[in-house]
Every structure is written in structure tokens, then in C-alpha cells.
Structure 1
Amino acid sequence: MYVIIAGGGDIGYHLTKALHQHGYEVLLIEKNRKRAMDLADELGERVMYGDACEVRVLNEAGARRADVVVAATGDDEDNLIISQLAQNFFKVKRVLAVVRDPRHEPLFFKLGVHETICSTRFIFNILEQEVEYGEVLPIGAIMRGEIEVIEAEVTPESPVAGKSIGEIELPPKTLLAAVVRNGQLTLGLANLILQPGDTVVALTPPQHEKQLARVMRGTAR
């Protein structure tokens, strides 16, 4: 698998190292000459100097044969341009974009960039859920951000402890997809009875996260 990463900041640097260590062919593109030279001192030929917003640079990087392009610069506008070029011009099968400002995510989705990583939104959601509901935490998103993946711990005080999944009144369009018990993953079947210590993996629209937290924890704290 060939992966092109645009942006030699912390994300791009560590991702390049990790992919190389796992045997992937990877190229990191950095538009700041000094930064590119510093990275090349450590990463060697896996670093290319250039602006990934330019068709010429992506072409020289071999974008036409890339399996994945990751737009991980520190600028959302650049990441959107890179994603659009990779997806629409070079027909790359999979494009991931880092988004710094959560307000920009809808624009990425609207323009067809469906795999985004927004650390600001992710950390905010974790902090918000942690403060209000304890051990009910968002751990990711799927379907263009329309569905949140939630991890919830069943405590002895939880109103769902001792109930089967089929008995629990869940928010609309919410699914208890899996349960981790004693380190073993089990599908969230309707007849499975939840026990204290279980970790539940749920899927729910973002607008129903708080309601799901109340179901799992009782009255919000």
C-alpha cells in the first residue's frame, strides 16, 4: 500500500514513522523548505519538499498510484484543496483530511470529503461527556459524522444493569452494537443481559448522545 501524507507537522511526522515501521510505502510532503530538510535528515527519501496544493507536486509524488492520501497540514483550506485534488483529479481511492476547526467539517462533507479527523471536536465531546455523564464517552464517528460511536461503562448503579438489551428504551436510531465483558467482545443481541463492569459500544446520532447518557447512567450529573 502506498500512502502520501501532506504536511510535516506532528501528525504527519509521527504517522509517516509509524507507517514505515509497519512496512508501508509512505511519502511525506512538506512545503516549508527548512522543515522538509530537517525531516529528511531523519526520514530520508520518505520526505519530499513541495506544496501538495499543486497538481505538479502531487503528480511528482505519484498520486496516481497512491492508495491513500492524508491531508494533514495545519491549514483547513489547504487540506480541503489537497483532498479535492487527490479525490477528483488523481482518483485516489481513499482520502483522509485533518480538520482543525469543527465549523469547517460540513464544507468538507458537502464537497465529497467524507473521512475527516477533527481533534478539536473529538476532545470537546470527550470533555463535555466526561464532565456531565462520567463514563459515557464518544470515541469516534462514522457516516460523515452523522453517527457517533459511544463507549459506556455499566456500573452497579446504572439503570440498565440486570436488563437485557431488548428491554432498554433507547433513543431513536440508536443501537447497542457490542458489549465487552471480561475482555471478550460480544454482539449486542436483544437477549443479552448487561452486567456491572460491562463496556457497551453504542451507535447514535449526535443529537441523541445526551439522551443515551441518561439511559445508561440515569439522571445526568
Structure 2
Amino acid sequence: MYVIVVGGGKVGYNLTRHLLAEGREVVLIEKNRARARELQADLGEAITAGDGVRVNVMREAGANRADVVAAVTGDDETNLVVCQVAKTVFLKPRTIARVSDPRNESVFGALGVDLTVSSTRIIDAMIEKQVGADDLVIPLLTLRGGDVEIVEVRVSDESPMLGKPLRDLSLPTGSILIAVFRNEKTMIPKGETVLQKNDELIALVTSQDEAALRRMF
């Protein structure tokens, strides 16, 4: 799978680093050249300097063969334009847009963006999901299209996954771990991260694979 990420802020950086750790082919496009140099010092050739709304920049990044284009800048309008360029010029990529204002989600969907992710929506969902300790998998957000969810997975004291590094986990095909919450700290999951009792994992999972993920914990 080839992924193009547009936007080199915290979201884009963490997403790119995670995808690289997962062995994905990924390029991050960052408009600010100084910021791009900072990212290159850490992530190397995965970073390219340029404006992701420009067709020539996207073409040079390989958008004609990309499977996914994820626009995660802090500006909703920029993210929408990036997704529209990917759809109308390069036709095939699946598009994902970060949306800062939840009121824009319906607009993005109407204009052809495949999936939208709103941090505000996620936070709201977490507040609304008041669950007991026995609820090990909590749906936080169903992404546009209804086939992908962000879920919270709590590691129980009887989980067979306790003490195991993430690299040894055989996760369902349609799932990706994106964060680990431990002792009020947030960690980006790495292969060597060892699971502990009461760790809370945030995962992106397809609806059909959610049950399989639940059974693991």
C-alpha cells in the first residue's frame, strides 16, 4: 500500500512515523520548507517539501499510483482541496481528510471525500461513552462510509497479550493500532512496546474485524 500524507504537523508526523514502522510505503508532503527539513532529519526520504494542493507536487510524489491520500493539515479548506485534487486529477486514491470544524464533515462527504476524521468528534464520543470496567472495546467513532471505526481497547488482567511486544501481536488484517494510553501518558505504539495491565489502545479497525479485535483482549 502506498500512502501520501499532506501536512507535517504533529498529526502528519505521527501518522507517517507509524506507517513507516508498519512497513508501509509513505511520503509526507510539507509546505513549509524549514519544517520539511526538520522532518527529513528524523524521517529521511519519506519527506518532500511542497504544496500538496498543487497538481505537479502531487504528481511528483506519485499520486498517480497512490492507494490513499490523507490530508491532515490544520486547515479544513486546504484538506478539502488536496482531496479534490487527488480525486479529480489522479482518480483512484482513497481520500481521508482531517476536519477541525465538525460542521464541515457533511460538506466534505458531499464533495467526494471518502473518510473524514474530526478530533472534536472523537473527544465528544469519548465523553459520551461512559462505560464500566467490563467493557473492553469501546467504539469511539464510526468514520464516514460506516465501514471503519476508531475503538478503544482496554488490556485486562487476564489478557493473553500481557507482557508481549506489539510486534508479536497478530492483529486482524483490517486493524491498525494508533495510540497507547498508560498512566495518563500517550505513546505512539512501536514494535517494541510491551503491553501492560490496564493499557488502553486506540485502534482503527474495519467493522467486520472489530469482533476479532475484541476477542484478542
TM-score, normalised relative to structure 2: 0.64
The alignment status of 1:79 with 2:110, answered yes or no, reads: no
| 3-state DSSP of counterpart to 2:129 | helix
Looking at structure 2, the residues matched to 22 and 179 of structure 1 have their Cα atoms a distance apart, in angstroms, of: 20
After superposition, what is the alpha-carbon deviation per residue over 1:36-67, rounded to whole angstroms, capped at 9, x for unaligned? Answer: 01001111111000110111111111100111
Structure 1 residues 40 and 125: alpha-carbon distance in aligned structure 2, compared to 1, 3 A threshold? same
Partner of 1:165: none
Q: Which amino acid aligns with 2:140?
A: I
Give the CA deviation at 1:125. 2.1
User: Mind listing any 5+ residue stretches in structure 1 that lack a counterpart?
Assistant: 152-176, 186-198, 200-221
Preserved CA contact (<8 Å) 1:109 1:144: no
8 A contact 1:30–1:50 mirrored in 2? yes
Cα distance in 2, alignment partners of residues 12 and 2 from structure 1: 15
Does 1:139 find its partner at 2:140?
A: yes
Letter in 1 for 2:6: A
* Aligned alpha-carbon RMSD (Å): 3.2
Provide the rounded CA distance (Å) in 2 between the counterparts of 1:32 and 1:74. Answer: 13
On the 8 A contact 1:69/1:92 being kept in 2, the answer is: no
Supply the distance in 2 between the matched residues of 1:85 and 1:143 (Cα, whole angstroms): 19
Q: Aligned letter for 1:67? A: D
Q: Distance in 2 between matches of 1:38 and 1:50?
A: 14
Alignment CA distance shift 1:179-1:41 (3 Å)? closer
Tell me how far apart the structure 1 counterparts of residues 109 and 78 of structure 2 sit (CA, whole Å): 15
Distance in structure 2 (CA, Å) of the matches to 1:94 and 1:141: 17
Partners in 2 of 1:40 and 1:54 — Cα distance? 21
How many Å apart are 1:114 and its aligned residue? 2.6
Query: CA–CA distance in 2 between the matches of 1:119 and 1:58?
Result: 26
Question: Does residue 1:94 correspond to 2:94, yes or no?
Answer: yes
Query: CA separation in 2, counterparts of 1:77 and 1:18?
Result: 25
The structure with more radius of gyration: 1
Alignment coverage as a number of residue pairs = 160
Deviation at 1:129, TM superposition (A): 3.5
